[in-house]
Every structure is written in C-alpha cells, then in structure tokens.
C-alpha cells in the first residue's frame, strides 16, 4: 500500500493523441525531483495487450525494456532518461495486465465467491496497483500518465479510478490536462474551443483539471489564458504555456518559466524550501544545442516503408543515445536513414563511403537482411567505424563467418533454420517456449551481467571488468563456432559470467578503428546525464574518421 500522505499527479491528454503527455509527464517528474522529492513515473496504456512486447514497432513505436525485463511503451524510456534512474515493473500498467490479474484472482477464488464486476473490482485493481507503485523506492510523489485522449472509451475506467482516488484523498490527488490549441493557417489565431470541449468531456467523468498545459506551435498570450480560465474553471496561473521547442529537453525549464514547480508544490501542499537545481541539466541542453563538428552516421534498418515519423519512433532510444554521447564528446551526430533493401543487390553499396560511421540496430525477421550483411562487409573492409546492436551484432558475426572464414551458407537460424552453418542459434530454453506457442514476454529480457576482456575496445570504453546491460532477444552466437571465429581474428570481448554466451564481438584496433557489436541493447540505459560508453566510443571513432582526408 501507499505511504500515508503520498501525492498523486494524473496527467491526461485532450483534443488529440500525440500531444506530448509523455514529455510533459517526464518534465514534471524532473521538476519535482530537482526540488528534492523522490518521484516515480507511471504509464497507463489502455490497450488489451498484457505488455508491449508483441507489438510491431511500425504500429506503436519502440518497445522499451525495463531492468526487470518487462517490455513497455517507449514513454517509459523518456521517464527513465529524464529522472536518470531505473523504474520498476510496478510503474507500468495496461488494461491487459489489469483484466488478467482480476480474472486470475477470480479463478483462484480470491473474491470469495462474489459476483465480479468492472465496478468495483477492475477499478479497485487499478487503484491497488497505483498504490503499490507509490510504495516502492521511497517515492513521495507519483506522476501518472493515462494514455490516449479524454473521451476515448478505452481509458474511461482509469479516469474513474483516478476520480475515486481524488474523492478518498482530496488533498493528495491533482489532475493535469495536456491539451492542444491549434492555430489554423487560414485564421491565424490560436483557438481555445477544442480545449474547452476537452475539459467539458473530462468534467463528464466527474474530474476537474487543476492545471492545463497548453500545447501549441506558439506561446500562449494572456488573453487566451484568461479565456481558458473562465471557460474551463482553472486558475489563470495554472494554465501553462507549452509551445513547440527545438529540443524535448528544453521543456522542463520552459515550464519553470511559468513557475510550474512552485505551483504544483502549492497544489499538493508540499514544502518549497529546496530550490530547484537545473545546472547539470541546463549544461547538457546547452551542449546538445551547440553541437560541434558534424559526424555523419548512417543507420541501416528495416522500418522504413511507413513514413519517417514511425521510423523515428521505432529507433527512438538509439537516436537519443547518439545525441547524449554527441553532447558528451562535443560532436553533432547527423543521422541518416538507410533502407537495408537498397543494398541487397550491391549496386548502391559505395554510398556507405560517405558516412563517418555505420550502425545496424536491433530488429527481427528477414526483411533487408542481405542488404545489412553487405553494409557490414563494406564497413569492415573499408574500415568505416561500425556499431551493431543485438541483431546488428549477430549479423556482424554471420558476415565474418561467410567472408573471412569462407563458410558458405552461414546464417542465423531465425532466417534459415536449415543453414549448413548455424552461426546464430536459439537457446534450448527458447525452443521449449516456442514449441508451446508462447511468444509474449519469453525472450531473454532485462539486465544481465557481462565479463569484459581487458585490452579490448569494449574494456577501454567501459573502464571495468564487469558490466550490466539490458537484453531483448531469443538467439545467441552458436558456441560451436566460437573457436573458429576467434582463430580467424574475431574477438569476443564480452561474455556471460560463465563464459557460455558471447555478449560483445569486435576486431582489434590494430585491424579496424572500430568494428564492434553487442548482443545487448545499450541504448536502453543511455541517459542525458550518463551517456553510454559504447555509443561514445563509436562516435569518437566516427569523428576521427570524419577528420581524415577523403
């Protein structure tokens, strides 16, 4: 159960989806943290999936994996990046989780023969989960984002749970509505009516917002604030202008210009004695804006056929990790998306010579795989810094087996189960899981320890012998081929503590300036104030390549 006096801030969205609730929630969390409070951020997704693991990235964006192994919505990544700490599985909730839990309890006679209904049992399950999340890690304030838009049928039950919590704890629960104020081109005037309608819709649930974060292309003027205040019954100073900004990392300090931190603490009856310290965050924002020498990074991937907006979401953590390391070492990564399909014939492969670094991210399936293999070979032979993430490491090893060892037909069994040389194979435990038809939440997920070999690129980057990384995969480098690969010059610089699983592969610096792949997803733990060392090492090598004469 929650600690006595725990505070809850519910963040809801109005007018349209994609209005920026996740960044707003992350920013509110950071603001309160910088005032000395322990904060946990909670994401509620109204879909019936039990977790995000089975969803296609082109449908819902990147799947973010917590240290616990729970596969979640990408907003959890923003939460961790802004708070600069890990969140737990209790900080994520879907409709699927809630209903599954209620049904399992009913099957086990947990309701003692009662007639189980949506109200109160499902609603109370939601409240119980929120209170459990509040009790972890010494948290004092929970910032809870309810996914979707006010008026969506799917999230009504979560709003109802929040309403009941406010009724029971009137001094401890507050509501923030993130709403959109359009400026139609043909009118040229910011319109408040859609937000007025969103507030009335929220009122129909029995909920009155305490704050409105007014999203728009431009800052809100006082006249619109006054109009919204009157029609929405919200104090004028509780209507916060949230215009578009150059970087999402500007948002917290933008909110602070409107005194949001103090206003929130007043609304929650909390002390304002500790002044906010944004010095480190402000320094990071300055560095990410100022950039430095441009470094061209080509990302060879597969999620390209559904538009650039979805593409950015599919590789969100990779993009942000590159930004963080760029800010750390003083370079500006210029990311360009390269469709792996374009390299399958080999005709366009010379285009890769234009880049200072090549990165192949994680993924699944055979789409564009031969194009990726050709890109990896080109980067290896032309000595272009290469960084492979998960699938990008597996294919790097397959390419080496084919073109250096000369193992014709070398492949991953994910694509060719009958490959004559199964360089990448499935773990026995995973075979048993798939035989039962279980796909969701059954991969190698979450944090695992790795031993790092001294004298290697990886060890030079990490600066230590043992590290922890997050994983999300089902296939591993086949141990039967490790001796032949190492005898041919490939170095497995990171392994599981028992030496069975190959976690990092690389070529020595004497052979290649930077040719490294990791079975993990290091992008998942990269933070603005704690960039990941492998991304930083990759960008340093790419920057050096960029200095070299063509």
- pLDDT, residue 62, reads 86
User: What does each C-alpha distance from 519 to 20, 369, 388 come to in angstroms?
Assistant: 32, 17, 8
Question: Which segment of 47-61, 138-152, 526-540 scores lowest on mean pLDDT?
Answer: 47-61
Return the number of other C-beta atoms located less than 10 Å from residue 309's C-beta. 10
What is the Cα–Cα distance from 241 to 221, expressed in whole angstroms? 8
- pLDDT, residue 546, reads 72
Closest CA to 204 of 146, 153, 143: 153
- pLDDT, residue 312, reads 63
pLDDT > 80? residue 417: yes
pLDDT > 70? residue 84: yes
* DSSP symbols for 376-438: HHHHHHTT--EEEETHHHHHHHHHHHHHTS--TTEEETTT-TT-SEEEEEE-HHHHHHHHTT-
Active site includes 523?
A: yes
| From 6, 512, 523, 532, the catalytic residue | 523
User: What does each C-alpha distance from 402 to 396, 406, 412, 516, 531 come to in angstroms?
Assistant: 10, 5, 12, 17, 34
- pLDDT, residue 188, reads 80
Better-scored residue on pLDDT, 489 or 304: 489
- pLDDT, residue 549, reads 55
Q: What average pLDDT is seen over the chain?
A: 91
Backbone φ and ψ for 389, nearest 5 degrees, come out as: -110, 120
Closest CA to 10 of 172, 220, 136: 172
pLDDT > 50? residue 258: yes
Active site includes 473?
A: no
The CA-based angle 533-529-507, given to 5 degrees, is: 10
pLDDT above 70 coverage of the chain, percent: 93
CA dihedral angle for residue 360, residue 362, residue 363, residue 367, rounded to 10 degrees:
10
Average pLDDT over residues 174-193: 91
**pLDDT category of residue 442 using cuts at 50, 70 and 90:** low
Average pLDDT over residues 146-172: 95
Average pLDDT over residues 417-429: 86
Three-state SS string across 264-319, please? HHHHCCCCCCCCCCCHHHHHHHHHHHHCCCEEEEEEEECCCCCCHHHHHHHCHHHH
pLDDT > 50? residue 375: yes
- pLDDT, residue 30, reads 97
- pLDDT, residue 4, reads 65
Q: Are 118 and 157 in contact (CB under 8 A)?
A: yes
Tokens read off for 419:
């490959």
| From 6, 421, 473, 521, the catalytic residue | 521
**pLDDT category of residue 433 using cuts at 50, 70 and 90:** low
Active site includes 232?
A: no
Closest CA to 14 of 145, 155, 144, 148: 148
- pLDDT, residue 310, reads 45
- pLDDT, residue 550, reads 47
Question: Which segment of 56-70, 151-165, 252-266 scores lowest on mean pLDDT?
Answer: 56-70
Q: Parallel, antiparallel, or unpaired: how do β-strands 421-426 and 475-477 relate?
A: antiparallel
pLDDT above 90 coverage of the chain, percent: 80
Radius of gyration of the chain (CA): 25
Q: Is-above-0.85 flag for pTM?
A: yes
CA atoms within 13 A on the CB side of 387: 27
The string over 205-234, giving b where at least 16 C-beta atoms fall within 10 Å of a residue's C-beta and e elsewhere, is: bebebbbbbbbbeeebeeebbebbbeebeb
Closest CA to 372 of 355, 404, 356, 394: 394
What is the Cα–Cα distance from 492 to 424, expressed in whole angstroms? 14
The string over 43-56, giving b where at least 16 C-beta atoms fall within 10 Å of a residue's C-beta and e elsewhere, is: bbbbbebbbbbebe
What is the Cα–Cα distance from 178 to 155, expressed in whole angstroms? 15
pLDDT tens digit sequence for 340-361: 999 988 888 999 999 999 999 9
pLDDT > 50? residue 1: no
- SS3 call for 251: helix
pLDDT tens digit sequence for 302-323: 755 545 444 667 889 999 999 9
pLDDT > 90? residue 56: no
- pLDDT, residue 437, reads 56
Backbone φ and ψ for 103, nearest 5 degrees, come out as: -65, -45
- pLDDT, residue 5, reads 86
CA dihedral angle for residue 64, residue 68, residue 71, residue 74, rounded to 10 degrees:
-30
| From 390, 411, 476, 503, the catalytic residue | 390
């Amino acid at each position: 159960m929650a600690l006595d006096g725990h505070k809850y801030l519910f963040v809801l969205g109005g007018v349209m989806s994609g209005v920026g609730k996740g960044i707003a929630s992350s920013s509110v969390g950071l603001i309160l943290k910088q005032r000395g409070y322990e904060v946990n951020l909670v994401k509620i997704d109204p879909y019936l999936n039990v977790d995000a693991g089975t969803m296609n990235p082109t449908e819902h964006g990147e799947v973010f994996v917590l240290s616990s192994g729970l596969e979640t919505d990408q907003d959890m990544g923003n939460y961790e990046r802004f708070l600069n700490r890990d969140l737990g599985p209790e900080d994520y909730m879907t409709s699927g989780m809630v209903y599954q839990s209620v049904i399992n309890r009913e099957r086990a006679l947990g309701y003692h023969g009662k007639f189980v209904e949506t109200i109160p049992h499902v609603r109370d399950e939601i409240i119980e989960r929120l209170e459990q999340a509040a009790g972890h890690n010494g948290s004092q304030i929970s910032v809870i984002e309810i996914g979707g838009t006010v008026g969506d049928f799917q999230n009504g039950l979560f709003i109802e749970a929040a309403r009941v919590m406010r009724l029971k704890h009137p001094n401890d629960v507050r509501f923030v509505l993130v709403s959109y104020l359009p400026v139609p081109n043909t009118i040229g005037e910011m319109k408040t009516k859609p937000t007025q309608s969103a507030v009335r819709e929220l009122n129909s649930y029995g909920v009155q917002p305490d704050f409105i974060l007014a999203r728009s292309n431009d800052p809100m003027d006082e006249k619109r604030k006054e109009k919204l205040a009157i029609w929405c019954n919200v104090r004028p100073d509780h209507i916060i202008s949230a215009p578009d900004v150059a970087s999402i990392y500007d948002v917290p300090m933008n909110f602070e210009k409107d005194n949001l931190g103090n206003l929130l603490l007043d609304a929650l009856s909390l002390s304002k004695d500790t002044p906010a310290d944004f010095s480190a965050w402000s320094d990071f924002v300055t560095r990410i804006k100022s950039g430095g020498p441009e470094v061209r990074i080509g990302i060879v991937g597969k999620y390209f056929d559904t538009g650039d907006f979805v593409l950015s979401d599919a590789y969100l953590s990779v993009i942000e990790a590159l930004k963080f390391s760029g800010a750390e070492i003083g370079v500006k990564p210029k990311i360009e998306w390269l469709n792996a399909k374009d390299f399958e014939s080999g005709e366009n492969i010379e285009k890769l010579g234009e880049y200072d670094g090549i990165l192949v991210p994680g993924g699944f399936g055979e789409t564009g795989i031969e194009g990726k293999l050709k890109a990896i070979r080109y980067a290896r032979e032309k000595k272009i810094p290469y960084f492979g993430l998960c699938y990008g490491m597996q294919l790097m090893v397959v390419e080496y087996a084919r073109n250096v060892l000369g193992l014709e037909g070398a492949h991953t069994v994910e694509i060719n189960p009958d490959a004559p040389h199964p360089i990448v194979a499935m773990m026995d435990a995973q075979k048993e899981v798939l035989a039962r038809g279980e796909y969701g939440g059954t991969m190698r997920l979450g944090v695992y320890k790795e031993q790092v070999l001294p004298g290697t690129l990886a060890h030079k980057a990490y600066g230590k012998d043992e590290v922890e990384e997050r994983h999300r995969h089902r296939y591993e480098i086949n141990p039967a081929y490790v001796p032949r690969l190492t005898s041919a010059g490939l170095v497995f610089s990171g392994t599981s503590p028992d030496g069975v699983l190959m976690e990092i592969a690389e070529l020595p610096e004497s052979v290649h300036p930077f040719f490294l792949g990791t079975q993990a997803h290091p992008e998942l733990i990269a933070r603005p104030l704690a960039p990941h060392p492998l991304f930083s090492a990759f960008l340093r090598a790419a920057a050096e390549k960029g200095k070299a004469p063509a």
